[in-house]
Every structure is written in structure tokens, then in C-alpha cells.
Structure 1
Amino acid sequence: MAKKPTYKELETQLKELKEGREEIFKQLLKKSFDMIVLLDSNGIQHYVSESCENILGFRPEELTDIPVIEKMIHPDDQEKTMLAFQDILENSANGGTQYRHLHKNGSWVYLEAFGTNQIDNPLIKSVILNVRDITERKKTEQLLKDNETRLKELNATKDRIFSILAHDLKSPFNSIFGFSNILADKIQKNNYHEIEKYAAIIQSSSKKTIDLLTSLIEWSRSQTGRNKFNPEYLELGSIINEVTDLFKDSASQKLITIFKDLPQNTPIFADKAMIGCVFRNLLSNALKFTHIGGEISIGVKQYETEIQVSIADNGVGMKKEAINNLFQIEKSYSTLGTQQEVGTGLGLLLCKEFIDMHNGKIWVESELGNGSIFNFTLPLK
């Protein structure tokens, strides 16, 4: 017959069993990737597991006996975190929330906490939080959102280009084809006056087609990241003069006067090709929508940290709705000029793209019937 253990032996066995279970519990907490936190009803942490050091860089004793919401949680997340904690307390429910917690290195770590109300449990008297680091998940979520936005933009770009290819590019080719047939007939009849007339029309249609293809190529390059950004120190006035010289004939045909108010020696740090493209598109746009005999003014103002360039015309102007859609690919705005000049809206999209690459801003001030002022800024280096 086995000998019955004595009271002292039983006491020793119970103590060893208790210590063993405590050691198991301790090791489970220590090895856990998650952080276990106990809070009292005032939101004071009185226990934080050792895994906090891996997640937040703090030792457990640095995070105990403090009001964690006020001291450690990002100001923008404190209100929702407090509401979630109060909901657990008042409804004796389980609940979870996400928030940013201060890391010891000064950065913010995204955490997800699930809480259980054990305040009324006499052995625990705490809210138990199971907390995990979700920073990488948040980064992935943001990356997916950014990619989704980018895909929508690319899809809008694709739809816009197909629309241009189907309509805007087809029209000038139809003109060239049709008038070339007429021209061939006039050549056979030796009607040189009519030959000159239709040759001029074909030349005009060809130029429009080339301009459109150039815009399409530049836009495509900007959307696929093939436009290399090569800034250098340039003199702004010389760029403006080069571009206005290109449009002398176009302005002369519509009897439009171009005024320039340019300070001497205005240095900029910019990509010459991109800024030249911006000026060409904005000046072309002003010429298109200015009436015969109208005026265009180009002005430059220099401020402490940036320069502002303005191209103003006294042409047809725009409605507010049109202004809001100018720089959006999915709603890009285009209308006929004062002499039925056609456009696609791609030029203004390119302007915004290139100004953004220079960390500048572009905007328009306009009123229907009272002309438009296109402004853009470039930071000074």
C-alpha cells in the first residue's frame, strides 16, 4: 500500500505545480510576437509583456504606470482609441481598434489591439489587451491604394488616347486624303490657283496632325516615366523669347499683339525641354482662344522663394465647370478656337505634369467672355 503524502509534501507539490504553470505562462508571453497589456479602468498600464521591446523599443517598466492614450498614442488617434476603450468598459464587451503608438526612436508604429473586459474578475481586475504590430500591413494597404489610383489614371489615359486616335487624329487625315484627291484633279486641269488653295489646306491639316502626334508622344513618355528630368540653370527671358519667336507667324495671321514684361536676367533651375513645352502649349492655347486683333500679355514676377509666370489673353474665357476639368485626364477639356482651331486638351495636361515635376503650381483665372490668365510658379534654387 502506497504511502500517503504528508501535508508538507502536498504543499511542496502544489507550489512546484504553480511555479511550473507560471513559468509556462511567462515563457508563452515572452516568446509571443504579440504584446500583452493589462490596464485598469483609468487606462493606466500596470503590466506590459516583454515583447513590447521588439515592437516599440521600450522596456516593460518604461511603459507601466502611465496613461498610455495621452502619453504614447498619436494625437490624431487618441479620440477613437479612448472611445474604443470606454466601449469595452461600459458594455463589458470585447473590442478592437487600430492606432499609432510612439516608438522609442521617435517614429510611429501602427498597432492593432483587441481588448477583453476582466475588470470584474477578482483575480485579474483589468482590461486585457492583445496588441500586434501592423505597420507592414498598413504600408501594403497604402501601396495597394496608390496602385489602384495609378491604375485608374492609366486606364483614363488609355481611354483618352483611344478617343483621340479614333476621332481627333482621324479628322485631319480625312482632310488630307480628301483634299489631296481634289488637288490631283486640279493638277490634271492645270488650275494653279485652286492647286495653291488646296495645297495650303493640306499643309495646315498636316501641321495639326504633327502637333497632335507630338503631344501624344510627349504625353505617352510622361505617363510611362520615360521623360528624364534634367534641370539646369537657365535664363527665363531667353526661353520666353525663343517660344514667342516660334509663334510670330501664327500671331500675325490673327493680328494678335504679344506684350512681354520680363525682368532682366531671371535665372531659373529647370528642365529646358519641359519648360519650353509648357510655354509652347500655354502660348498656343492663348493664340487659339484670342479673337482677331486681340492681345496677349506675358509677365514674370519674382518672389523670395519662387517666380510666377502669367500668360494672359483677352479672348473667349471659360465657364467655371471648364476650369475645374482642365487638368483632369478623365475630364480633359477642349473646345474650338476663335477660328475653329481644334485641340485635345493634352497640352494642358502636359503642362501640369511638367510643372509638378518642378515642384511648382499651375492654375487658371478666367471668366466667360473676359479672357483667361494661366499662371505657373517655379521654385527658386
Structure 2
Amino acid sequence: MIAGDALNRQLPYWLVERREHLMHLFAPVPALALVLWLSLAALPGMLWMALIGYASTHLLLFWVMYDRSARAAARWPHIERAAILVDALLSIFVIGVATSLLHFLPVYALIAWRAIAGYRRSQATTVTLFVLGPIFLFQLLLHRAGNAALAPDEQWGAVGILTGSLGCGIVAIMASARQKASIHQLRSELQRERNTREARVEELEHLANELRMRMRERHALEEGLRAITSTLSLNDVLEQILDSTVQTFGGERTHAVVLTLQIDGSLDNRMYARDRQIQAQWVEPLIRRVMRDQTPAVIADSALDPDLGEISRTGLHSIICVPLFVGDGPPRGALTVVSATFAAFSSSDARHLSAFAAQAGIAIGNAELHSRLRRQQHLLQAVLRDINDGLVVLDTENNVVLANPIGKALLEDTSAPQPWLERMRELASRLSDDGRPVASPEWIVGDPECEEGCTVYQAVASRVRTNDDLPDLTAIVLHDITDHKAEERARMDFISMVSHELRNPLHTLNGFVKLVLQGRAGPLTPLQQDFLSMADDQIEQLSGRVSELLEYNRFKAGRLTLRPEVGDLSLLIAGTLNRLSLQAEQQQLSLINETPSLPLCQFDNQRIGQVLTNLIENAIKATPAGGVIRVSADVHDQDVRVRVSDTGVGIPSSELGKIFQRFYQVAKHRRAHGTNMGLGLAICQQIVEGHGGRIWVESEEGVGTTFTFTLPLAVEKECTVG
């Protein structure tokens, strides 16, 4: 088969491709020629019978051989041996029966044809031809021992038989030799392939071992990362980093692990070591170098590094050190692994340790952040718990999201006629978009009519700005003003008592001074007249201050009742300006009324006249000669806005929020016009707010000031201050 395959490789391509077709095409030709030859040879009858049996047997074997079933394929070797046996039996029969070359040659050709046809399946078919020819010729010569020599045609037949037999032998020998050479070549190729495969298998085993080692390292790294991220305690995280590093690199080559963190400029080291004699400071020069360069360092032999002399003398040789980044910025430390083996670490180990150090830095940062948050949380809880003020935080839906103990106690108070949460929601609704704080009136715990011995709170609502992802909150601070209210009541009682005690002597003194000025006590010299006039003015001024103080005291005590009535505000403004026009002319000022005809409003004529008078007089005092004071009004929604504008010196922006405070005076006005009680604007605010309105100021230094207050349109009701 191998020889045949070698021969096929030497044939032309087109002949190999069409060989089967050519064989089928020319197969009948040799068969017809052989049949013709056998017919002309005039074979004996017994030989014809043997040939018929031979052909029938081979047809049967052919039919069995070409059965495509699996069982027939298993019988092919036996069929080949049976075919060779049939050839041998025919050969023996021919040797015994045939007595001439004329009878033997066609049968010999038939057997040769069969042998050639079966040669591809088995080279043993040539054995019959190799043995048959010499044996027949030997027998033929024995029968002719006493006879003459072979005829010339018989000699040629004998030569053909011997040539065919020897050719079959030579072909068989050459085929065997070629087969052995091919087998040897195949064995050599197989051996080379086996060696190549063994080398490949060895390489794959090496790669598999390395992969298993890397997988173990990766598994240890993942377990370490899972462990260090499973806790938020900084101390536990640092300890877990050391344990995970040992597990990642294996205990057999890890002699020590140093975890370094820079805290306040100094290095804080945590260490794992099999030998307790090892000091972490021995590797600090390398750690500082790695932190400075921000690159990993792999040391194969510490003795070759001049900075690592201490650790090399202990028998530790290999060191791997990577920077430790915690948050943004430069490294905050390093992670170092030390081994007693030379060149125990590679660049791959440096990459693994760097990856682990990156995750460790994140875990350390999270733990530090958690520690700071816990400290801040404890601080916030302590502040909320121990401050004397109540705190309640509401969300955009006015639901309580935070409350300290005082705030919770007030929210749970059921004795109040109006629930505290409802009060807080109303106060939160008054917050404007600009976020300015809003203060509530006094809130009394329990009976609202209680005057003494009750707890009083004042609430201030402020907007709490959060980031863009969260809605804003409202913080309400409840300040306990009980003591302040008690002091204020005592102060007002004292002021009331002192004012009443001063009023009677002042009236008496004022009466006597006026009698003297009228000349009823005798004639006065001009100098005496001037001195007494000055004294009379001061007495009038002091009496006005006492009246102002008493009036403010009544407002604060809630004992002054406003009696608003439906009236024409335009007439009140016009009358007030007419009354004060002479005073403005004396100061060389223009007092202009720009008030249009207004709808009816509900107000206390006397008290609103007091507010207008106070605002216009303040404008006269604050405006230099040649200035202009304008009074205007307009309707806005459900109220009327009245404005008093001047071209005076203006009010500094730092003092705008304080001018409505009692006893407060603007510094410029105090220097220009002397001291006063500073209660006028506070009284104006009380009167306006008592009407359900509000008052505010707008001013610019050197340009002027505008006071604005609002009054409601006509509504039939009575309002009371306090």
C-alpha cells in the first residue's frame, strides 16, 4: 500500500484523477483477452472445472467483501486470506494437471491478474506467483528428463514464467524494503512529533502551573480585597491588608510585610514578621524613595543597595515595595514585602502588588472617611442633644426629617390649642425664595393667656440649601425666651414706673417755667428770657421722650388697642404734609405729595398719621438743604403701599437690618442731629404690623432713602397689637 501510494504520487495529476474511470473503461479488455487465450489453449476438462470453481469462489468472496455493513468490514482480513488460499489451491491443481506450458500460461496469467488486483489490499498475493512458476517448471523438467530439450516457444514461455515469478519476488522485496523505509520515516516523524508534543505538553504544564499559581494569587487577592472592603474600621482594614498580602504571596516566600502610612509628616508602620527581631525602620529608606519616585521597586539582593544595609545583614534579600495612594495627590505611604530568598519577586509580582495597593488605598480612604463621618455624626448628635434650643427640620412636603429632644418634646405637646407642627408649617410657608430667615411671634407652651411662669419660645425659620440632587430643607430653631420675656416685663414695668414718676415733676416744672416766661413772676431780662426758653425746649423734649417711652412700653405690653376704620388715606397724607410743610421750608427742603386718589382703606387714623409724621420728620432730619422729600402711594394686590422717599445722606447697607430695632440709631444721624431714644421706627413697625401690613426700607448712601409700608384695603374688622 505504501509503495502504491508512492507510485501514485509520481503519476501525473490528470491520470491520478481519472484512474478509476480509465480502469472501469479498459477492465473488459484484459478479461476478454484472457478468455480468448484460455479458449485457444484447449485446456483439459478437469482444469476447466477447476477454473470455473475458482471463478465462482472469487465471485462469492467479492460479493462478501463489498458488503458495506460493519460486520463485513470486520471480515475483510479473513476474506483476503481465503482468496490467497483459493489461489494456492488452484496453483497446486494446475501443477498436478497441466503437462505443457500451453495449458499453464493462461492459468498463470489469471492468477497473476488476480494477484495484481489484490496487491493493494495485501502483498501476500504475490507469494503464490513467486512459488508457482519455479515449481511448475521444475516438475515439467522432471517429466522431460529422458526427452529432448524444450522447444523454442516453450523456452520463451519458461523465461516468461521465471521472469514473472522473479519479478513478483523482486517487487515484493522492493515493496517490503520501501515499506520498511516508509515505516522508518513515519516512525522518525512520529518520534519528532512525539518529542514536539512532549515539549509542548511540558510547556503547557509549565504554563498551567504558572496559571494555577497566578489563579491562587488572584484568588488570594480577591479574598483580600473582599476582606478589606468588608469593614469600615480603619484599624481592621490595616490589619486585613497585612494578612491579605501574606496570603497573596504565600507564607513560604514572605518573611515580612510592612504597611506604611504618612501621618502628620511622619511614617507610621504596621508590620507582619516571622522574625520578631526585624525592625520596620530598616526598609524606610526604600519606602521614602518609592514615595518620592511614585514607582514600584523590586530588589533582587538587598546587599547591593547601599540604603538597605541593616536588613541585608539579617539574611533578608528580596524586597518589593509599591507606593500607596490614598485619595488624590501624592502617595501617602507604601506596601513592602520582604523575603529571605534571592530574586523572589518579579515585575509581575510588582504589578499584582500595585493593583492590590490601589484597592487597599481606596479601602483606607473609605475607612478614614467613615471615621471622620462617625466623629462628625457623634459631634452633631451631641450638639443637637445638649443645646438649649429646639430644632426641627422639615422637607419640601413639610414633613419632619430631623428633630432634637426639645423639638420632639414640643411636637408631642398636646396641651397647645394649635399643634406645634401646624405652627411650624405655617412659619415655613412664609419663607421667600431669597432664603431670608423668618421669625415667628412668641409661642407659649400651654395656655396662651398665661403671663407668668410659662415657657415661651420664638421660632426662626431658615432655608437649608443642599446640593443639586437633593431638595432644600427648612430648619426651624425654637429659642427659649422665657427668661428674656421675664426680664422684658420687669424692664417695661420699671420703665413705666419711672416714666410715670418723671411725668408729674416734668409737668409741674414745665408749668412753672411757662409762667415765668409769661412774666407772671416779674419782668425778665433778655438773657434770662433766652435761658428759660432753652430750658422750656429741653423740658418739652424730655417730656416727649417720656411719652414716647410710655407709648412703646404699651405696645410691647400689648395694652395699646388699634381701632381701624374705613377712611380715605389720601386725605390723611395730604393733611400730614400740610402740617409739616412749614418745618420742611425752614430746612430749605421741598415736600412733594405724589399720592393719587386711593380706594378706601381700613386704618387707625391717629396711629397711621403718627407713622407718616415720624417717617417725614426723619426724612427732614436726614436731608440736607435743597433736597426733596416725596410721598407717594399705589394699590398693589389687596393692599396699598405708601412710600416716603428723600434725597438725603442715606443709610449704610450694614445698618439696614438694624434700624427697626428699639433704641438703635444710625451713626450718621446721631452725629448730625444729636441723640434720641431710637424708638420711633420700632413704634412705626408695631403700628403697621398691628394693621396686618409690613414696613421696610431701601437706601443707598449719598443718594437717599425710601421707607415703604403697606395697609390693607377696606375690610370690616378690628385688629389689636400684641
TM interval, short-chain normalised: 0.5 to 0.7
Aligned to 1:359: 692
Q: How far 1:332 sits from its partner (Å)?
A: 2.4
User: How far apart are the structure 2 equivalents of 1:324 and 1:245?
Assistant: 31
Q: How far 1:318 sits from its partner (Å)?
A: 1.3
Change (3 A) 1:288 1:98: closer
Report if aligned partners of 2:694, 2:710 keep a CA contact under 8 Å in 1: yes
1:313 to 646, 654, 675: 646
Q: How far 1:364 sits from its partner (Å)?
A: 0.7
User: How far apart are the structure 1 equivalents of 2:671 and 2:682?
Assistant: 21
Q: How far 1:242 sits from its partner (Å)?
A: 2.6
Matches within 5 A, 1:244-263: 244-263=577-596
Higher relative contact order (CA 8 A, sep 6+): 1
Aligned to 1:144: 455
User: How far apart are the structure 2 equivalents of 1:320 and 1:231?
Assistant: 34
User: How far apart are the structure 2 equivalents of 1:150 and 1:273?
Assistant: 33
User: How far apart are the structure 1 equivalents of 2:541 and 2:567?
Assistant: 30
- AA aligned to 1:284 is E
- AA aligned to 2:455 is L
SS at match of 1:230: coil
User: How far apart are the structure 2 equivalents of 1:258 and 1:296?
Assistant: 5
Aligned to 1:332: 664
- The yes-or-no answer on 1:235 pairing with 2:568 is yes
Aligned to 1:303: 636
SS at match of 1:246: helix
Matches within 5 A, 1:1-381: 76-77=398-399, 79=401, 140=446, 144-146=455-457, 148-149=480-481, 152=484, 155=487, 192-329=525-662, 332-335=664-667, 336=669, 340-381=673-714
Change (3 A) 1:332 1:278: same
- AA aligned to 2:481 is T
User: How far apart are the structure 2 equivalents of 1:150 and 1:238?
Assistant: 44
- AA aligned to 1:146 is Y
Change (3 A) 1:317 1:109: closer
User: How far apart are the structure 2 equivalents of 1:289 and 1:109?
Assistant: 44
Report if aligned partners of 1:161, 1:216 keep a CA contact under 8 Å in 2: no
User: How far apart are the structure 1 equivalents of 2:710 and 2:618?
Assistant: 18
- AA aligned to 1:307 is V
Deviations, residues 69-126 of structure 1 (Å, cap 9, x unaligned): xxxxx95446559xxxxxxxxxxxxxxx88979xxxxx9898xxxxxxxxxxxxxxxx
Q: How far 1:297 sits from its partner (Å)?
A: 0.8
Report if aligned partners of 1:316, 1:369 keep a CA contact under 8 Å in 2: yes
User: How far apart are the structure 2 equivalents of 1:246 and 1:154?
Assistant: 41
Which has the larger strand fraction?
Answer: 1
**Number of corresponding residues:** 249
User: How far apart are the structure 2 equivalents of 1:377 and 1:108?
Assistant: 30
Q: How far 1:339 sits from its partner (Å)?
A: 5.3
SS at match of 1:328: coil
- AA aligned to 1:280 is T
- AA aligned to 1:252 is E
User: How far apart are the structure 2 equivalents of 1:312 and 1:357?
Assistant: 23
User: How far apart are the structure 2 equivalents of 1:337 and 1:254?
Assistant: 18
Report if aligned partners of 2:697, 2:705 keep a CA contact under 8 Å in 1: yes
Higher mean C-alpha displacement, 266-275 vs 357-366: 266-275
User: How far apart are the structure 2 equivalents of 1:266 and 1:257?
Assistant: 27
Q: How far 1:146 sits from its partner (Å)?
A: 2.8
Q: How far 1:287 sits from its partner (Å)?
A: 1.4
Change (3 A) 1:288 1:77: same
User: How far apart are the structure 2 equivalents of 1:161 and 1:337?
Assistant: 28
Report if aligned partners of 2:445, 2:456 keep a CA contact under 8 Å in 1: no
- AA aligned to 1:222 is F
Q: How far 1:196 sits from its partner (Å)?
A: 4.3
User: How far apart are the structure 1 equivalents of 2:677 and 2:578?
Assistant: 24
Task: Give the number of the structure whose alpha-carbon radius of gyration is greater.
Answer: 2
Change (3 A) 1:191 1:239: same
SS at match of 2:562: coil
Q: How far 1:292 sits from its partner (Å)?
A: 2.5
Q: How far 1:191 sits from its partner (Å)?
A: 7.6
> Which segments of 5 or more consecutive residues in structure 1 lack a partner in the other structure?
1-73, 82-96, 102-106, 111-137
- AA aligned to 1:319 is P
SS at match of 1:324: coil
SS at match of 2:673: coil
User: How far apart are the structure 2 equivalents of 1:337 and 1:161?
Assistant: 28
